[in-house]
Each structure stands twice: as structure tokens, then as C-alpha cells.
């Protein structure tokens, strides 16, 4: 069956390939195995994470109008997102928002952006006014 399959950590998985072709040929046009990490999977009982935050990959990506950036904060923090086109021009500056410690989903609306590759800069100002930065990319398809 075609699709994307997610396997939880610690589980064993086997991949079975059946030869259903009359000529005895097996062909695959694409197989990709990857390990992804989502901060939404962090158990609450683990407490503090190494560092002040964990940022997951935005999804969906590519997207049409909206994408979500999963985020885990170990402390209250102020977040601001800037979006740049491939020429380096800032095309969107979202207002600063304050978030409590815990899991969050940052929604980025891109209804006014045209199709293309964009980069986002997530600025996080946490305890003791320390500022950290994360850079990611996404594709808008209209």
C-alpha cells in the first residue's frame, strides 16, 4: 500500500516486498526512510528538555495558505516570526507573541504570498532576556 507510515520509537517494523508481477520483476520508483522528531511527541513527564526549546519541521510543506510550526518551550518566551523570499527581502513580519512553557503550534498564514521558496526566522526571547534564533524553509504552492 502506498502512503506515509509513522512508527513509534521502540517498535520493530518489517518491510515485505511481494513479487506480484507475472514477469518476475519488482520495481520501486521511490522509497524513503527517515527519522523525524516532533516536539508534540515529548512526554510531559520528562520535564525539562535540553536547552530552552525544541522546534519541529513545519507541516504541511509544501502548502497553499497555512503551515504549522510545532514548538516546545521549557520556559515562558516571546516569539516573533519573519519570512523572507529567496532574494532576502522580508515579505512578512508577524507580531511578537508571548507563550507559556509547553507545547505550541505556531500557525503561519501565507495567503498573500505567491508560489515559491521562502525562509523563516523564528526569534525566541526567553528567560534572562536571552535571544535564540531558528531558521527554516517552506514552499508555497498556489
DSSP 76: -
**Distance (Å, rounded) from C-alpha 40 to C-alpha 8?**
13
- 118 has a pLDDT exceeding 50: yes
The string of pLDDT tens digits covering residues 53-107 is 888 889 999 999 999 999 988 889 999 999 999 999 999 999 999 999 999 999 9
Give CA angle at 88 (136, 104), nearest 5°. 30
Q: Is the pLDDT of residue 134 over 90?
A: no
pLDDT band at 45 (very low <50, low <70, confident <90, very high): very low
DSSP 8-51: -TT-----------TT-----S---------GGGS-GGG-PPSS
Q: Which three cell numbers stand for residue 103?
A: 507545547
Amino acid at each position: 500500500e502506498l502512503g506515509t507510515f509513522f512508527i513509534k520509537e521502540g517498535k520493530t517494523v518489517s518491510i515485505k516486498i511481494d513479487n506480484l508481477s507475472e514477469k518476475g520483476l519488482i520495481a520501486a520508483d521511490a522509497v524513503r526512510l527517515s527519522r523525524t522528531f516532533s516536539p508534540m511527541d515529548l512526554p510531559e513527564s520528562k520535564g525539562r528538555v535540553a536547552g530552552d526549546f525544541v522546534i519541529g519541521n513545519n507541516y504541511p510543506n509544501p502548502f497553499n495558505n497555512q503551515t504549522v510550526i510545532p514548538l516546545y518551550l521549557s520556559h515562558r518566551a516571546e516569539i516573533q516570526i519573519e519570512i523572507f523570499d529567496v532574494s532576502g527581502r522580508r515579505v512578512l513580519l508577524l507580531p511578537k507573541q508571548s507563550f507559556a512553557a509547553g507545547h505550541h503550534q505556531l500557525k503561519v498564514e501565507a495567503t498573500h504570498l505567491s508560489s515559491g521558496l521562502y525562509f523563516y526566522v523564528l526569534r525566541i526571547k526567553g528567560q534572562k532576556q536571552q535571544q535564540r534564533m531558528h531558521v527554516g524553509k517552506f514552499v508555497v504552492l498556489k
